[in-house]
Structure 1
Amino acid sequence: MRHLGNTILFFMLQNLPYLLGSGHVRACEKNQFSCQSERCIPRIWVCDGDNDCEDGSDEVHCWERKCSGFVCKDGGCVAQSALCDGRADCRDGSDELEGTCGAMACKRDEFVCGSRRCVSLGFRCDGADDCGDGSDEADCENCTAGSFRCAGSGRCVPAARLCDGAPHCPDGADERDELCGRAPPAAPSCAASEFRCGSGQCVPHSWRCDHSPDCADGSDERECDQNECLENNGGCSHLCVDQPMGFLCDCPGGMRLVHDTECEEINECLDADVCSQLCDHVDGTFTCDCHAGYLKSPGTGECRATGEAALVVFSGSGGVRRIDTSGLEYREISGGVGEPGPLAVHTANRTVYVGNSEQGAIYRVSLDDHSLQPVLVLEGLGKPVGLAVDWIHGLLYWTDAKTRSVAVAPLDGSERRVLISRLCKPTSVAVEPLQGFLFWADSGTSARIERASMDGQGRKPLVTSSIHSPVAISLDMPRALLYWVDSALRTISRIGLDGQHRKTVVESNGYLDRPFGLAVFEGRVFWSDEDTHSLCTADKHNGSFFRVLLSDVAAAGGLALAHRALQPDGYGVCGRSGRLCPTRCVPRLFSSSAAPHFSCEPPAESPGLDHNPSGPEQALVLPDTTAAGLLSLIVMLSVILTGLLLWWWRGECRSSRSIVLQSDLSLKESQDPLVPVRRFETCPVKDALIKVDIDSD
């Protein structure tokens, strides 16, 4: 018994720290790291990318120091904007757990919705379901005069929202056909890849002359005995193959046929669409990565922007508002500046530019302080319908439906100039100043999307077929893709900045009836719809994971997305030359005596090299006799040095029959892989000197 008591006492003394609640059997030394599993490891093993602790706590400690977002319970790191957004970005889903999200802490001037969304107090009892669950309209006063009471629910709909295209009553009573009676949209005309029958019917061009009449009047099988390839290559971009009846377009190896007549290079990464940004394809395997400023989500592999949460900024009849991409914070930015119009965000200055088509004006409002009044930037315009900010050169571009043009001005509106004129029905505009591109959409009778340099020169059509009414465009800069939404086709599509690799990503789903605004961010596409009065989002690759971000938006108008990653710092190419400037690129767009262009700013001259002194101190002028003496001395020294050089060179030639040019000369030649490094078998003094002069030119 005595022996047993001693054993128990020894055990208690050895485990006293653990029994007292310290959680460790022994304390680690100063140069060691204490794992949660009570193991001690050298501190140099912490944050080395390996889980040296069995529980991985040495790498969790690393993320806690380096992660600027949310640290998952398993040690992963995701952007703060991914927290509680309805999608599990952590591998263990800890970013969406109830304990992590909990009850949202709203600001003093915000209302806490039952859906955990925070909305401005001014949205309370305004007749619109801003919370998404109706909690901001619960327990409000009875309907006022002129309002419409929904049957059953008793909800009040303001008269201004009656028959506005969006159902505000649960049963849609405020949008009944007998009350509103909207006519269906007109049928679109045939696409360029289709054949128009004599009866007006549209059939695919590949059905022409296939020995099977597809038109009601059989006009697709007439005049099929001619060789169409002899005239304009049959309209084929590459190969035209004549058939006994009709013809076929074909493509060389490594390319594929699109729209029956065009060939484009095959891009496996864009075809597979498995990567959010960077993609490397080797032997059927895809490796994904992210650009600087983004972090790859460990759960989904999507590239999520670091830093602050992204904001969706939109205009409506109630003014300019913003909501974060998770849909949890919804606020007013500015009061109304007229009818809902286009938007553009300058992230660095935290400002939003808003167009007013009725007034022919553009205003500037603060992205953060809704108490500030809108500032008039430009007036006397026609009808601005599209806006874009060039954050590199400090320019504002807009499309004008009345003057049918694309114009530009400095951000302060001090000057202006029309760059593109005689358009049909311009709508949206976008810029990519890092590559020097300007894009715009035209939804006229010959609908198209075009590209030019940012001075309006070098126009190039990107989309001309299977497009009817492109009302908005947006850029996915990390992937060099342009997205557009077609209100007639009710689709969202994309294409490369070179006009290739076209794909439709979202098709009509009940929320693309009358789309207006469009934005692309991270792995998602955002758009506004006037008929359903909603802000929607879906996967940018294929339209999956569709979600209504905000419903019951009053007269949805322009749409933009604000985040620093969308407007990265850098040096944009300067004009049509496509080169980078050693100093800075200066836009020279507003001179009436010269064509608009961009040019590099010349480097500042050194004060000691001023050849045009304007002050009392004049340049020193030597007497003629002194100048002549110096000249004679220079000539004499040159002759002596030349003789010494020839004497030394001959000595070197005797000691070696073969030499190689000096390393600096060889290095300069090797910069061009098509020019080999020359080696001389003898010592040609004259040839070597000539070669040095040529390379140093």
Structure 2
Amino acid sequence: MGHLGVLFILLLCSCLRAGGHKQCKKDEFPCRNSRCIAGRFLCNGVNDCGDRSDEDSCQNCTTTGVFSCGKSDICLPAHKLCDGHLDCADGRDEDQKMCGIVKPSSQSSGTCEMSEFQCVDGNCILHAWRCDNSPDCFDGSDEVNCDQNECLVNNGGCSHICSDDTMGFHCRCPENMRLVGGSQCEEIDRCLEADVCDQLCIYMNGNFTCDCSEGYDMNPTSTGCKAKGGDAQMVFTSSGGLKWTSVTGTGRQNRPRPPQLSGTGSLAASASNRTLYWAPHGQGAIYRVWMDENPQKPLLVLKVKGSVSALALDWIHRLLYWSDVEGGSVNVVLLDSLTQHQLTSGLDRPSALAVEPLQGLLFWAQCGSFPKIERSALDGRDRLALVTSYIHCPSALSLDMPRQLLYWADEGRRSISRVNLKGQNRKTVVESNGYLDRPFGLAVFEGFVYWSDKVTQSICRANKHNGSQLLVLLKDLTSPGVLTIIQPALQPHGPSVCGHAVCGDDCVVSLKSDRLDFSCISTEKGDNKSREDSTLLHAVPVSSRSDAMFAGILSLITFLSLLLVGMAVWWWRRACGLSPSVTADSFSLGQSQDPLIIQGGPVCQNSCSVKETLIKLDLDRK
């Protein structure tokens, strides 16, 4: 046939393949499986296409901890990624969207953090980038006056030890601490570093001992923790409305029929009574749905301003939190009084919420020009930024309460990461794997992390430690949205953190004109105060007891009550025996509200008057 004929056939086959391929945009890469991915994800060492066609023709940068600079460029060590230096020829290792470290211009004139250097033009960069022989400020002011000892000014921005170098400086940490972000030191948590225990972990003499929290049993072979109290159900939203199934994805999917529940929206759940709180997108309303009713009839709980972007339920204090995209706020309502209150404002596209009532903590995320994750007390005070760097758009939050970890899904970075509740010990546990293109819902249960994905139209799960054991639970879902898992162990009961203290008696939640207030008061005072203003107060017991404990206490109270009744009747009969002259006509049951008086039979051997008996009781007390 000749070389020209072979070349013509190859070109023809190529054209035929291209003609049948999904049309990708100019800045996208066409995968062999007809998917399109952003061009910046080509040759990044991650299987973004799902069939590895975006990595097959690249440099061999598949080793863990290595980043590819492109087809004909170098393989870059991971520690050089987003370090402020352009190492790749096309600069992809410092891509602003990927690194997520550029602050909005509106903040350029503000005060930089301790770990940052303020450029002459007002922008903030990491202090560790100053005098590193590479200009990072737009005006190059970070490379001026580098012959001075930078450690003499604000300790160089280092949280602990600052060491001055011939060119620049560097930060160091004491023993048993590690350097984070080039300037901050945090304690090394050996258990989280090893990440071998599902829940409780004890490190001693180089060995790890794993255990399970209350409400879980340990699997003797896998050291995993299995929740007690029945099977868990996964509840999620899609364009068809609310649905739920088992956490394995098997079994019948239920869908409420009412039209109010169609479409995507926000979701929160109460495990104790299997109740869902549901805010359809764009309706400005929050509904309550009982899962065990058939058909499921929604009850309008609250009309709110703006569009609800997230819901979170405090099952201890009976508080429902929601975020408003248009108003840029986080709000709260007392479910027992339906009184609303705005906790925070000024947020830029709030996107997710989570609450930990046993620790008295509220978490929220925003996806705007300065994406971050913050936390506060339940009343919105004591705000603390947990994650501010290497974050693009945190679309969902979920808590691993036994380990006191906060997980988030980042739809911009296509990853799932976690930190502890102080913002430390950060780790990315799941990265783009072909089913993590645009995560929207997130839940953590037992040893797995669950997520929904809008691009792949699926719900998946993977190991919560390292992203292994990927399993696609549901496929071909139309616009899958938020998801949650309902199981009693996920909402444990315990002492009520009343504001900043654990109460000795009851915790009363009140909604004042300017704030949500928590106060510890005695049971008697709490009852009186609740009667005075029942629309604004909600009393929370110090601890929610188990059914067995409650039954035992109730039995003890019943026994003591019967004993008291018996003693009173015995004393009464003895007292009445001393007054034989009283007639039966002077006795009237209708005049008494005393529960000790028994109707329908002779109370005294020779009868006695209620009035005379009460007078004797009063005299005896004196």
TM, length-normalised to structure 1: 0.57
- SS state at 1:368 partner: coil
**Which of the numbers 180, 191, 195 marks the counterpart of 2:101?**
191
Partner of residue 533, structure 1: 457
C-alpha separation in 2, matches of 1:509 and 1:196? 38
Partner of residue 520, structure 2: 600
**Which of the numbers 507, 512, 526 marks the counterpart of 1:591?**
512
C-alpha separation in 1, matches of 2:335 and 2:525? 29
Superposed CA deviations along residues 140-191 of structure 1, whole A, max 9, x for unmatched, are xxxxxxxxxxxxxxxxxxxxxxx9xxxxxxx978x789xxxxxx99944652
Contact 1:494/1:505 (8 A) holds in 2 = yes
Q: Which residue identity is paired with 2:224? A: E
**Which of the numbers 177, 197, 201 marks the counterpart of 1:275?**
197
User: Which structure has the larger Rg?
Assistant: 1
1:302 aligns with 2:212: no
- Are the structure 2 counterparts of residues 574 and 228 from structure 1 closer, same or farther at C-alpha, using a change threshold of 3 Å? same
1:445 aligns with 2:369: yes
Contact 2:128/2:183 (8 A) holds in 1 = no
**Which of the numbers 470, 484, 504 marks the counterpart of 1:582?**
504
Q: How big is the shift at 1:521? A: 0.7
The 5-angstrom pairing of residues 338-487 of structure 1 reads 338-411=262-335, 414-487=338-411
C-alpha separation in 1, matches of 2:526 and 2:321? 37
C-alpha separation in 2, matches of 1:488 and 1:196? 27
The 5-angstrom pairing of residues 621-632 of structure 1 reads none
Contact 2:398/2:442 (8 A) holds in 1 = yes
Partner of residue 490, structure 1: 414
Contact 1:190/1:196 (8 A) holds in 2 = no
Q: How big is the shift at 1:379? A: 1.3
C-alpha separation in 1, matches of 2:137 and 2:328? 39
C-alpha separation in 1, matches of 2:175 and 2:194? 19
Q: How big is the shift at 1:410? A: 2.2
Structure 1 alignment gaps of length 5 or more: 1-162, 164-170, 178-183, 608-697
- Are the structure 2 counterparts of residues 205 and 508 from structure 1 closer, same or farther at C-alpha, using a change threshold of 3 Å? farther
Partner of residue 92, structure 2: none
Q: Which residue identity is paired with 2:403? A: R
Partner of residue 233, structure 2: 311
- Are the structure 2 counterparts of residues 380 and 216 from structure 1 closer, same or farther at C-alpha, using a change threshold of 3 Å? closer
Q: How big is the shift at 1:219? A: 6.3
- Are the structure 2 counterparts of residues 521 and 220 from structure 1 closer, same or farther at C-alpha, using a change threshold of 3 Å? farther
- SS state at 2:489 partner: helix
- Are the structure 2 counterparts of residues 413 and 333 from structure 1 closer, same or farther at C-alpha, using a change threshold of 3 Å? farther
The 5-angstrom pairing of residues 3-82 of structure 1 reads none
C-alpha separation in 1, matches of 2:404 and 2:176? 21
Contact 1:377/1:413 (8 A) holds in 2 = no
- SS state at 2:253 partner: strand
Partner of residue 157, structure 1: none
Partner of residue 162, structure 2: 240
Superposed CA deviations along residues 393-445 of structure 1, whole A, max 9, x for unmatched, are 11101111111111111236721110111111211111111111111111222
Q: Which residue identity is paired with 2:101? A: A
TM, length-normalised to structure 2: 0.63
- Are the structure 2 counterparts of residues 250 and 315 from structure 1 closer, same or farther at C-alpha, using a change threshold of 3 Å? same
Q: How big is the shift at 1:281? A: 0.7
- SS state at 1:330 partner: coil
Contact 1:516/1:527 (8 A) holds in 2 = yes
Superposed CA deviations along residues 243-283 of structure 1, whole A, max 9, x for unmatched, are 11111111122211111111111111110011111111111
Superposed CA deviations along residues 110-149 of structure 1, whole A, max 9, x for unmatched, are xxxxxxxxxxxxxxxxxxxxxxxxxxxxxxxxxxxxxxxx
- Are the structure 2 counterparts of residues 229 and 240 from structure 1 closer, same or farther at C-alpha, using a change threshold of 3 Å? same
C-alpha separation in 2, matches of 1:241 and 1:479? 35
The 5-angstrom pairing of residues 191-270 of structure 1 reads 191=101, 209-210=131-132, 222-223=143-144, 224-270=146-192
Contact 2:334/2:340 (8 A) holds in 1 = yes
Contact 1:378/1:413 (8 A) holds in 2 = no
C-alpha separation in 2, matches of 1:534 and 1:186? 29
Aligned residues: 424
Partner of residue 88, structure 2: none
C-alpha separation in 2, matches of 1:217 and 1:401? 33
- Are the structure 2 counterparts of residues 375 and 489 from structure 1 closer, same or farther at C-alpha, using a change threshold of 3 Å? same
**Which of the numbers 334, 346, 369 marks the counterpart of 2:256?**
334
Partner of residue 105, structure 1: none
Contact 1:315/1:556 (8 A) holds in 2 = yes
Superposed CA deviations along residues 2-35 of structure 1, whole A, max 9, x for unmatched, are xxxxxxxxxxxxxxxxxxxxxxxxxxxxxxxxxx
C-alpha separation in 2, matches of 1:242 and 1:534? 52
**Which of the numbers 432, 435, 438 marks the counterpart of 1:514?**
438
Partner of residue 571, structure 1: 495
RMSD (CA atoms) = 3.3
Partner of residue 293, structure 1: 215
- Are the structure 2 counterparts of residues 518 and 208 from structure 1 closer, same or farther at C-alpha, using a change threshold of 3 Å? same
Q: How big is the shift at 1:605? A: 7.0
Superposed CA deviations along residues 287-333 of structure 1, whole A, max 9, x for unmatched, are 10101110111231101101211111100111111121122223114
- SS state at 1:541 partner: coil
